[in-house]
Amino acid sequence: MTTDTSDVRWLTYDELGAALGITPDSARRLVARKKWPRRAGNDGRARIGVPAERIPDKPPVSPPDARDDVDADDGPDARDDVIPVVSILTQHIDRLEKELQSVKNERDEERIRAAQLAIQAAQVDALNVVIEVERQRAEDARRRTEELKQQTEELKAERDRWASALEASQRQITHLQQAEKLVDQAEKAAAERRGWFGWLKRA
Element (H, E) at 161: helix 76-202
**65-114 tens-digit pLDDT:** 444 444 444 444 444 455 666 778 888 898 999 999 999 999 999 999 99
pTM, two decimals, is 0.33
pLDDT in tens, 125-176: 999 999 999 999 999 999 999 999 999 899 998 899 898 888 888 898 998 9
Distance (Å) of CA 77 to CA 9, 25, 82, 84, 124: 20, 19, 9, 12, 70
Domains of the chain are 5-73 (1.10.1660)
